[in-house]
Structure 1
Amino acid sequence: MSSKDIYSKYILAYICTFPTKEEILSTNKLISTGVPPERSVGSLKNKTPVELSNGKLITPPDDLIHSYKESTFIVLEIPSVEYLESLISSSDFDKYKKEGTCNHPEENDLKIIVHFSPPEVMKDSRYRQWANSFSPSVSHLVINSRSSCLGLHSPVIMQLQLNQILPNVFPLHRNPGVPFVSFGADIPIEEDIMIPSFTSEYKFEGTTIQSNSAILYHIQPFKEFDSSRRPFVNPKQALSNCQENESILNSLENLNAKFAELNQEKNSASRNHYPSFLFLGTGSSYATGTRNNSAILISLWTQDIIPHFKNTAFRFSHSPKPFCPRPPFLTNNVMQKVPILYILAPQDIISFVKKLSHNFSFDFENILFINNYDLSKKNFDKLPIHKAIKSLQLEQVTVVKVPHLERSFGVALTHKDGWKVVYSGDASPSTNLISIGKNCDLLIHEATLEDGMEERALLTLHSTFSQAIEVGEDMNAKFTILTHFSQRYKKIPFFEENTLREKNVGIAFDCMKVTFEDFPYLRHLYPTLKEMFSEDYSILKRIRFMKTLK
């Protein structure tokens, strides 16, 4: 059997069993009775009475020491209905089904089945029949496209704060994984969001929960679902500092006055929404609570964006990074809508993704990979992507090598309407990039490290803030947006006083969406950002000062 056939023939399900545990001390009971740690716990475990400091004698009763029987759970993903017959015919599950336990129901130790299968598979009558072959006492946890599991509340809070500055540029997150509680309420005690999301969609006999962020299932000793740790955001609390801090309020007032002047200078009251630039991530190396891995989505115009390929996506990538086994753009239902999807990448990434296809269900039938190096050749018009680029109404796509890893590229997009956008990727300052970016309307440049860290930037082949700004000035860019910040800058990058004054420079944040019309506003944001995130700025300033003492 070739490696290419492995995925199409085999999938894995996991049957996991916790062994029997005897004489386990109940932590909750120990705390409630005031038993001190260390030797006292060991004595109780040996059923030896313990005398507390107040003279109370604690004797280990049965309810202080528990014993647990074996507990089993099943985890499976059936990616498509083609695998259902194999699932149904598998005998590995028989001992846990109703028929296998009917004579000895007390020995049925299966507690829960975790389903990663898509909704359309789970609603198939054959899948339902298989799930209902287990006892109704077995619970079901469903984790699929119906789930709301994007549960990081930090970026939601940050977006709420940024939205106070410029709502058009920082639209609010409405992440179902992090719900908003009532504006007038304090910390909720018995809110609906704390109740697990029971579902009858799949018509299973056992209790069925559609997963959301931070849901727990306690196998021992509770045998129940728990949503008490689900993240939520109270906007009133999240914005209390912005609405009560006098320094922030004064800065916002001054900023709004400046915005009013800019509004009067505009030639038209209408807003041109395209092209737009959505920053899906603005951090380097790895994702954190406030900055995702760097990625940018460029929307060229409005209608029928996906079916007719009106979007261009860029992602910083200097090594193959982990990603989901079945990206949305490689699934069959998307392929039916997009005749050909062009993916521009270095050869290493192309080879890596193709190797993954041997183990995951990637459908490359309508995918065309273009090596970035080929775009830098003079016979560009003969490449398969040439027709697609023309359909995007782009006059030219120019790719050049930039100083980073061996196959690192910068790119310039020139539209038929005359505007040009340049993107650096991961790179040290590059004369190649400057040459293709002359007089561009927008430069998006990585700015990984603060000024004063030039040696580290040179060692890692990245750019400092000022170096990135100078690249924009050297190519006469009309505006520069800095992104790809080191994760040491959790909320705001550190600039010395007056570094950005009178500069046509903006700072990118996750989920920031801008058009050409927003650039005059972006250049005035930093003083207010510094006030809004003053605690983080003070920490960075203190670290900078300590470095000068060394």
Structure 2
Amino acid sequence: MLRLRHIGHIIVRGACNNQRYSSSVLNLLADLPKELNTEAGKINSHAREQTVIYHVNSYLQILGNGCLGGPRSVVVFAYGSRYLFNCGEGTQRLFKEYGLKFVRTRHVFFTSPKWENIGGVLGFVLSALEAKPIKIHLNGHPRILELLEAATVFTKIPLDKIERHDKLEYSDHALKIKYVILNKNSNASQGGPAIKQVGLNDLTIPDDAVISFICTPSAREPSFSLERCVDLGVPAGPLFLKLKAGEDITLDDGRIVKYSEVLELDEHPPSFIILECPSEEYLDSLLAAEEFRFYQYREGALEHEMASLVVHITPKSVFDSTKYRTFREQFPAKTAHLLLCEQNSYDISKEVHRLQYKLNLIHNEVFPVLPRSTGTGVEARTKYDLVPHMGFDPEAPIRISPQKYIKEAESSPGFDSVLSHFKDRLTKIKLDDSREYPRLTFLGTGGATSSKERNVSGILMTTRPNAYILLDCGESTWSQLVRHYGAEMAKDILCNLNCVYISHMHIDHHLGLVTLIKEREKLGIQTNLRVLGPSAILNWLAKINNLFDRIKFDFIDCVSFLQCNESSGFAKVFADLGVDRVSTCYVPHCDLSFGIRIDVDGYSVVYSGDTKPSSNLVALGQGCDLLIHEATIETGLEHFAAKKKHCTTIQAVMVGHQMNAKFTLLTHFSQRYCKLPNMEDRVFEEGRVGFAFDHMEVSPKNLKILPQVYPVLKSLFAEHIYFMNEKSSTASKRQRQWEKSHHISRCHR
């Protein structure tokens, strides 16, 4: 139904829920006076510019379904505002894929300060504040703010734009949220909240307590109904305008139509609950919590008073327990239940599969098809409508459609012909190296922040069967492992992961580390994970250990391997990996940034991390077999690359030449080039350069294939390249302007 309502002197047009208007309503709209139509046009233009937009629909959507490697996050859309509940690793990336806007998500609620709930908050907050300089409000445990404060040592976070809500309830124009505190049995002998009130507004919550949220959407203001005007015979014209302005009117036939008669009153919106119960130790507190009982079945209770939906963030074993079943059964039969747990499907990204199916057409070993999840239960992007109608949206969940993606690729102009030519050339390429190790699996090839197509930095090096080193570990690296190998194989890799190397302290290179450590602990692995990195990573992990989760690891400082220190006792750490030598060097990026060289059974791999062109790295990598080098910025933007202490494409290739590297593999691309980095054809002429995609697998035996792939990729992503070239043209003009002004300023000096 079309709804109009008054806000001062303006009319805001609400959503229509895809229903067709009756011909009578359409006729009334057509007959409206010209001045009203003109006014409405101005109003609509003005309304789009307002900070708060009125929408009649509200819904809850599962952003992360709690699957293995995925976040357990919920987003609520209510009357133009968004509210995020929990922000695990990968939340930011899913926001982008699902088309959600950071700008209207100003409130984040946390059920507990466990890493599973907070691991993505750093990236999310930075992205949200970059979208618009607004305040972000963190609701929940007070220690979450301490996480952001601790991170200011290695990343710029405008803490003045972040606030913590410290009351037991929250309300605004769209939602009223009540907090329910649950405690372990040891903290509350009789269950229920164990809260200390310090002053009126300061709230202290026990470290191991969890918070559940009872949420009630606000009732909308009465709305002006066109259909009621039609039903009552109100004609278009002056009488309609008077009625719209709030006056009672008398029709030509003598009937009086009161303003109140054409108002549509809202029914009471239903409440919903977001509940975490991490273990059976919280069940007594859950069953004793009086706050839930009003929303459960009661004799004589009105339908809107009972919860329409409960989202359970809890292990399946707890969910199926007798006590928890007793709690669930106290809700009416109409209440819907959603369980976010590891058993759910890990097919949470359609775009990852879309890209991989297309690349697989080019080469099925370098770009393997990703395994599909066998998980069941709650699907990613499940949507539950709250207002105006309750119920699940069957079109919302993720659907993977391989044949559709393949047809998209094949429909690219000239793709079939270019692909056929590539296949012919492939049969003529002499692959003179048959070694399968070291094998490199790229888990993240994007720079700074994740996108739909590229995750942040992470490279899995398999040195020999069942022996692994990880080069950098950006947010959601564990999720990428699960997507690439499947759940069981990913767990096996984690069991045999010998070391994680962190090149420097920018968050896109290390935020996934805590999850790897915790997942190993869940698997019962007795040996500590070795972490090789700058000293600052030790301080960061110690802070996490003290504030949130107990984590165990062994730390080795990168300084221990400077100057090819082969006599160091630390070299024995890698002996069981077939590693002959590990060497590091300082590179110019942020403080304590390192490059690394790893020699494996006579094959040498150099990894730059993030850096601008570095003579130290050139010396370290002389004569190496493979250089993996960052190429963040496109050629032509050298001044911008220098400012950010990164490399352009051609600079990275030149480092490979200076190093006499047999092959240079480029990675860490700006997310401007999320599908295909903007490169010059001449880069590939010598057959010694390739570039990386997420979920790409390479080894010495197939590296020579990569330079031949570029023409096929250009055909596959022709439209993307066109838009990138347009952007590059603009950027090049800015580069020339900068060089000109820089030259003039030097002349004046």
Q: Identify the residue that residue 476 of structure 2 maps to in structure 1.
A: none
Contact 1:114 1:143 in 2 (8 A): yes
User: Of 308, 324, 338, which residue of structure 2 is paired with 1:111?
Assistant: 308
Change in CA separation of 1:449 and 1:22 when aligned onto 2, cut-off 3 Å:
closer
Q: Identify the residue that residue 469 of structure 1 maps to in structure 2.
A: 653
Gap runs ≥5 in structure 1: 52-57, 178-196, 200-209
Q: Give the AA of the match of 1:371.
A: D
Cα deviation, residue 89, structure 1: 3.0
Cα distance in structure 2, aligned partners of 1:352 and 1:41:
64
Q: Give the AA of the match of 1:290.
A: E
Cα distance in structure 1, aligned partners of 2:423 and 2:562:
45
User: Of 547, 562, 578, which residue of structure 2 is paired with 1:376?
Assistant: 562
Secondary structure of 2:392's counterpart equals strand
User: Of 200, 204, 209, which residue of structure 2 is paired with 1:10?
Assistant: 209
Q: Give the AA of the match of 1:419.
A: Y
User: Of 406, 416, 419, which residue of structure 1 is paired with 2:591?
Assistant: 406
Deviations 1:462-495 (A, max 9, x none): 0011111111122221111100001111211112
Secondary structure of 2:635's counterpart equals coil
Q: Give the AA of the match of 1:484.
A: H
Cα distance in structure 1, aligned partners of 2:435 and 2:226:
61
User: Of 529, 532, 538, which residue of structure 2 is paired with 1:350?
Assistant: 538
Cα deviation, residue 260, structure 1: 0.2
Which residues of 2 match residues 103-502 of structure 1 at below 5 A? 103-106=300-303, 108-148=305-345, 150-176=347-373, 210-245=377-412, 247-262=414-429, 265-266=430-431, 273-303=436-466, 306=493, 309-310=496-497, 313=500, 318-320=505-507, 327-331=515-519, 333-334=521-522, 336-360=524-548, 362-365=549-552, 367-376=553-562, 386-415=571-600, 417-502=601-686
Contact 1:319 1:349 in 2 (8 A): no
Q: Does 1:88 align with 2:287?
A: yes
Secondary structure of 1:488's counterpart equals helix
CA RMSD of aligned residues (A): 3.8
Change in CA separation of 1:458 and 1:118 when aligned onto 2, cut-off 3 Å:
same
Deviations 1:102-152 (A, max 9, x none): 353546332211112122322232222222232222211112212236533
Secondary structure of 1:502's counterpart equals coil
Contact 1:429 1:463 in 2 (8 A): yes
Cα distance in structure 1, aligned partners of 2:702 and 2:554:
35
Secondary structure of 1:413's counterpart equals strand
Cα deviation, residue 323, structure 1: 5.3
Deviations 1:42-63 (A, max 9, x none): 96695989x9xxxxxx999999
Q: Identify the residue that residue 181 of structure 1 maps to in structure 2.
A: none
Contact 2:426 2:705 in 1 (8 A): yes
Cα distance in structure 1, aligned partners of 2:649 and 2:694:
18
Q: Identify the residue that residue 724 of structure 2 maps to in structure 1.
A: 540
Moved more, 539-548 or 152-161: 539-548
Cα deviation, residue 511, structure 1: 0.7
Contact 1:329 1:335 in 2 (8 A): no
Secondary structure of 1:13's counterpart equals strand
Contact 2:311 2:337 in 1 (8 A): yes
Secondary structure of 1:421's counterpart equals strand
Change in CA separation of 1:267 and 1:8 when aligned onto 2, cut-off 3 Å:
same
Instruction: Give percent identity, aligned residues only.
Output: 28
Q: Give the AA of the match of 1:406.
A: D
User: Of 670, 693, 696, which residue of structure 2 is paired with 1:509?
Assistant: 693
Change in CA separation of 1:22 and 1:393 when aligned onto 2, cut-off 3 Å:
same
Change in CA separation of 1:117 and 1:357 when aligned onto 2, cut-off 3 Å:
farther
Contact 1:161 1:239 in 2 (8 A): yes
Which residues of 2 match residues 38-57 of structure 1 at below 5 A? none
Change in CA separation of 1:437 and 1:42 when aligned onto 2, cut-off 3 Å:
farther
Cα distance in structure 2, aligned partners of 1:286 and 1:405:
17
Contact 2:494 2:520 in 1 (8 A): no
Gap runs ≥5 in structure 2: 1-141, 147-186, 188-204, 230-234, 252-256, 468-491, 738-749
Deviations 1:187-229 (A, max 9, x none): xxxxxxxxxx9x8xxxxxxxxxx32122111122322111312
Secondary structure of 1:110's counterpart equals coil
> Normalised by the size of structure 2, how large is the TM-score?
0.59
Structure 1 segments (4+ residues) deviating >6 Å = 2-7, 25-30, 39-42, 58-64, 377-383
Deviations 1:483-530 (A, max 9, x none): 000111121111223232114011101111111111111121112211
Cα distance in structure 2, aligned partners of 1:441 and 1:375:
20
Cα distance in structure 1, aligned partners of 2:495 and 2:504:
26
Cα distance in structure 1, aligned partners of 2:225 and 2:385:
14
Q: Give the AA of the match of 2:506.
A: S
Cα deviation, residue 419, structure 1: 1.2
Q: Give the AA of the match of 1:364.
A: I
Cα deviation, residue 244, structure 1: 4.5
Q: Give the AA of the match of 1:327.
A: T
Cα distance in structure 2, aligned partners of 1:276 and 1:517:
9
Secondary structure of 1:93's counterpart equals helix
Cα deviation, residue 426, structure 1: 0.7
Cα distance in structure 1, aligned partners of 2:273 and 2:506:
34
Q: Give the AA of the match of 1:67.
A: D
Secondary structure of 1:9's counterpart equals coil
Change in CA separation of 1:332 and 1:111 when aligned onto 2, cut-off 3 Å:
farther
Q: Give the AA of the match of 2:515.
A: P
Cα deviation, residue 386, structure 1: 4.6
Q: Does 1:69 align with 2:268?
A: yes
Deviations 1:350-398 (A, max 9, x none): 32233233443x3324x22333334438888666x65432222212221
Deviations 1:147-193 (A, max 9, x none): 2365332232221221111111011234549xxxxxxxxxxxxxxxx
Cα distance in structure 1, aligned partners of 2:613 and 2:720:
28
Cα distance in structure 2, aligned partners of 1:302 and 1:474:
33
